[in-house]
Amino acid sequence: MTRSAIVTGGAGFIGSHVVDALLADGYRVTVVDDLSTGDRARVAPEADLRELDIVDRPALQAVVAEVEPSAIFHLAAQASVVASVEDPLRDCQVNVAGTLNVVDAAGKLGAPVVFTSTGGALYGDDAPMPTSEDRIPAPLSPYGASKWAAEAYVNTWSLSSGIPHAVCRLGNVYGPRQNPHGEAGVVAIFTDHLYSGRAPKLYGQGKPTRDYVYVGDVVSALLAAAGKAGTYNIATGVETDVSTVWKELSDAAGKHIEPELADLRPGELQHSRLDISRAKRELGWSPKVAIAEGLRRTYETLIEEFEQR
């Protein structure tokens, strides 16, 4: 019998890659996406796309009951720190109430959920680095707060039901299909600036660091987490500053454009690096793509995508 899976946010950057990987593994895949930031063109034709908002509880429950998935990969989210500051209520509705709707619907079928949370935005600026999953979160933004609250529902539903739900706290994910306009992602934004010959703004004077992780590595981690109960950092354990990202992409482009330096925006972190030893130990997972190689691959692929716009 063919296994089935639901991917919420499956028309998005990371979600569409998860869909492709599940299809390649022989799953029958249903995508749930309201297309507010997702793009139906990203969804493989073999997948079944249902256009709906996870905040719409009855509609979501109906789809889950119909599909009877063996796993749900929950990536649908309001994913912008800046947008969460501007509209914290919508951020809460999608990230908290929407996640509750997902785990509640999954619980009726006994289906495990893999929930994508955030690493850097959750832990705050005072966390020791590398930061382990045991660090008590201290988010600086509504986005970080909503993801932390959503994690609590995922873990509570797992403990109370015995269904092995997993929380994957992602580093700064980058890679092909990332939208430089509708989704957070400095690598895609910088690539777009290089493509059009515009100088970017380097917030925090180019000094903030992030733990950048290639989307292909994230996908393999999410699939490895299916059916596991626990919270896992999914990143590389390597810190890279914004100026270095700009330089690496500029080298890949063969262009030199002097960036504009600016102060950090409200809710943004100074530094982030995650401890990934638990994921290595319990999921048998480790990242394969180093930052320089990943940035080169991403630049080349995104330029092809931009030229097809």
Which residues does the annotation mark as catalytic? 143
In sequence order, which residues have a C-beta less than 8 Å from that of residue 9 and are 6 or more positions away? Answer: 15, 32, 33, 38, 74, 75, 76, 77
The contacts found for 132-139 with CB under 8 angstroms, 24 or more apart, are 132/233, 132/275, 132/277, 132/278, 133/169, 133/231, 133/232, 133/233, 133/275, 133/278
Q: Which two tokens stand for residue 274?
A: 């995650």
